[in-house]
Amino acid sequence: MQALLESVRDGHVSVQEGLRQWNAGPVLDLGHSRLDLDRERRCGQPEVVFGEGKSPEQLVEITRALQQAHGRVLVTRVAPEGASALLNDLPGAVHHELARCITVGLSPNEEGVGYVVVASAGTSDGPVAQEAAVTARFMGARVKELADVGVAGLHRLLAEQDTLQAARSLVVVAGMEGALPSVVGGLVARPVIAVPTSVGYGASFGGLAALLAMLNSCSAGISVVNIDNGFGAGYAAAMINERYGEPVPGSSSPLQRSEETVCHE
């Protein structure tokens, strides 16, 4: 409310629009959806739109309202017809086709803070890895992507050890047997968010084999999200990235000391 009043005072928002937003309160009821306009204040990030199951008209109305409230929007799992409607209706909208995401107000990657690495085992894991990368960038993280570094050619991953070690947090995406997060977890002193994908032949059971392998990983420091949930992994990694290295009163952990020498920030 303070920000709204200041916007009215400074002339960025008209009195009429200010009254409309004030009366709307923290929840905006669109009939088909109830938008949580207070989430950014509580949680640090605005509400994200899950595109699956929504009509193009609903997506446009929801996204336009969130853009007006926050100035930026992330829409995930957008079908082609929904993406086309959003691009036609929202100035500045960008379609990340591989990730199946739409963003409005996404800052350039070089303006991000910290360092999140998104590593994927194979090219077929790219859509999920891209969803994680776009999500982390939307949340303000600087992101480096490592594609096709799976364990079938381990030298590809080992050649990127400096990149892995420099990260504040990592998202590791893999299908098939899902071994990559365990290997990465054994190489770095950073939190690893593992993402199983539905990539694989019959006995992979749509990603269940990779999910179980990651849940049973022998490497410490690995957390696992649901199958194909690049958004959840990117979100968690960005939250860790934002908080990583903030000093805890009276503490001096090896991780905090290494942050000073590795990230040079």
Residue range 21-73, pLDDT digits in tens? 776 667 777 788 878 777 877 888 888 999 999 999 999 999 988 888 888 99
Q: What is the mean pLDDT of residues 196-200?
A: 95
Share of residues in the chain with pLDDT > 90 (%): 63
Contacts of 162 (CB under 8 A, 6+ apart): none
Q: What is the mean pLDDT of residues 79-94?
A: 92
Neighbouring C-beta atoms of residue 33, cutoff 10 Å: 16
User: 37 and 98: one domain?
Assistant: yes
Band (pLDDT 50/70/90 cuts) for residue 20 is confident
Domain end among 74, 104, 134? 104
d(CA 11, CA 80): 38
Cα angle 57, 59, 61; round to 5: 70
Q: What is the mean pLDDT of residues 187-213?
A: 95
Helix then strand count (H, E) for the chain reads 12, 11
pLDDT of residue 25: 63
pLDDT of residue 24: 61
Kindly state whether residue 81 falls inside one of the protein's structural domains.
yes
Q: What is the mean pLDDT of residues 101-129?
A: 93
Indicate the DSSP class of residue 77.
Answer: S
pLDDT at residue 249 is higher than 60: no
User: 131 and 234: one domain?
Assistant: yes
d(CA 240, CA 260): 16
User: 53 and 72: one domain?
Assistant: yes
pTM: predicted TM-score of the whole model, two decimal places:
0.81
Conformation bin of residue 239: beta by default, left when phi > 0, alpha when psi is -120 to 50: alpha
Band (pLDDT 50/70/90 cuts) for residue 222 is very high
Neighbouring C-beta atoms of residue 246, cutoff 10 Å: 8
Count: domains in the chain: 2
d(CA 136, CA 232): 10
* Domain range enclosing 166: 109-243
User: 114 and 206: one domain?
Assistant: yes
Neighbouring C-beta atoms of residue 203, cutoff 10 Å: 8
Structure tokens at 186: 């054994």
User: 54 and 179: one domain?
Assistant: no
Query: Based on the number of CB atoms within 10 Å of its own CB, is 247 exposed (0-12), middle (13-18) or buried (19 or more)?
Result: exposed
User: 44 and 138: one domain?
Assistant: no
pLDDT at residue 246 is higher than 60: no
pLDDT at residue 87 is higher than 70: yes
Structure tokens at 261: 């020498």
User: 118 and 89: one domain?
Assistant: no
Nearest CA-CA partner of 183 in 160, 200, 166: 160
Mean pLDDT of the chain: 87
User: 180 and 231: one domain?
Assistant: yes
